[in-house]
Chains A and B, each alone.
Chain A
C-alpha cells in the first residue's frame, strides 16, 4: 500500500492505495483512489465496486452531487470502512452513474491531515 504520483504523461496523478470494506467488514475491494481536492466528500467509487461491496444494502438518505458547472446529479450513499496503511476509518461512500475512477475527497484528506499545502513561493520564474 502507499501514496504516490502516477504516470508522468498524465502530469503525475496523486494516488492512494486503500482497501474499502462494507460496514460489517464482510466484503472488501482494493482500490487506487485518485486524490481529488475538488470533491468535498470522502470516497466516490464506480457503481460496480459499490455493488461488489453490497453497499446497496446499507444505504442512507438523499444526496446529490453538485458539479463545477452547476449540474446536480443523484448520488447513492452508504457507510463504509476505508483502510489506508492498516488503519481503518468509517466514512461515507458515494456512487453515481458513469463514475470511472475511484476518488478520494477532502473529507478524508482533512481527517488524514493530507490537506493541500502550497509552497510559500512559486518555482516559476517571472
Chain B
C-alpha cells in the first residue's frame, strides 16, 4: 500500500474536473484514483519510468543517511579518529577498523541504501568530468 499525500492542483481545467467526477462516480472510484490511473498510464509511456522510481527511492534514503552523517560526524571523529563508518536505516550502525568489515556488516544489516565513509571524513563534493552526454 503506497503512502498517501494531500495534493492541491491550481488552475486545473474545470470542465475536465467535472468529467473526472462524473466518470469516477459512474465507475465507483474516487477522483484521486482516476487521476492516479491517468498519471500511471502517462508514465508507462516513459521508457525509464521504473528506473526513475528506483532512483528516487535510493535518493530519499541516501539523503536520510547523509543527514545522519552530517549530524554525527564531529562526534564520530572525536571519538574514533579513524575507521569506516557505516550508516543505514537513518542511523549509525557502527565504526569498523577496515572497509571490508563495514561492507560485510552492510550486507547483513542494510537493505535499501547504505553509506560507508572513511574517517577522518572531509565533506566535499567529488566532481567528475563526464565528457559528452552519455
User: A72: which B residues are within 8 A, CB to CB?
Assistant: 127
Nearest residue (CB) in B for A24 is: B103
User: B113: which A residues are within 8 A, CB to CB?
Assistant: 56-57, 59
Tell me how many residue pairs across A and B have CB atoms closer than 8 Å. Answer: 113
User: B116: which A residues are within 8 A, CB to CB?
Assistant: 58-60
Number of interface residues of A (CB under 8 A): 42
CB distance from A88 to the nearest CB of B (A): 14
Q: Does B125 contact A (CB under 8 A)?
A: yes
CB distance from A70 to the nearest CB of B (A): 11
User: A24: which B residues are within 8 A, CB to CB?
Assistant: 100, 103-104, 107
- The verdict on A40 contacting B128 (CB below 8 Å), with A59-B62, A97-B51 known, is yes
A59–B128 alpha-carbon span in the complex (Å): 16
- The verdict on A62 contacting B126 (CB below 8 Å), with A44-B134, A56-B113, A57-B107 known, is yes
Q: Which of A3-11, A12-20, A46-54, A108-116 contacts B (4 or more CB under 8 A)?
A: A46-54
User: A77: which B residues are within 8 A, CB to CB?
Assistant: 126
Q: Which of B99, B115, B133, B134 has the most CB of A within 10 A?
A: B134
A76–B126 alpha-carbon span in the complex (Å): 11
A41–B127 alpha-carbon span in the complex (Å): 9
User: B59: which A residues are within 8 A, CB to CB?
Assistant: 74
Number of interface residues of B (CB under 8 A): 37
A74–B127 alpha-carbon span in the complex (Å): 10
User: Are B131's CB and A38's CB within 8 A?
Assistant: yes
Q: Does A126 contact B (CB under 8 A)?
A: no
Q: Does B5 contact A (CB under 8 A)?
A: no
A72–B128 alpha-carbon span in the complex (Å): 9
User: Are B114's CB and A56's CB within 8 A?
Assistant: yes
Interface 1/0 per residue, B20-43 and A, CB below 8 Å: 000000000000000000000000
Listed in ascending order, the chain B residues whose CB lies under 8 Å from chain A are 48, 51-52, 54-55, 58-59, 62, 66, 88, 99-100, 103-104, 106-107, 110-117, 121, 123-134
Listed in ascending order, the chain A residues whose CB lies under 8 Å from chain B are 23-24, 26, 36-41, 44, 47-48, 51, 54, 56-69, 72-77, 79, 94, 97-101, 103
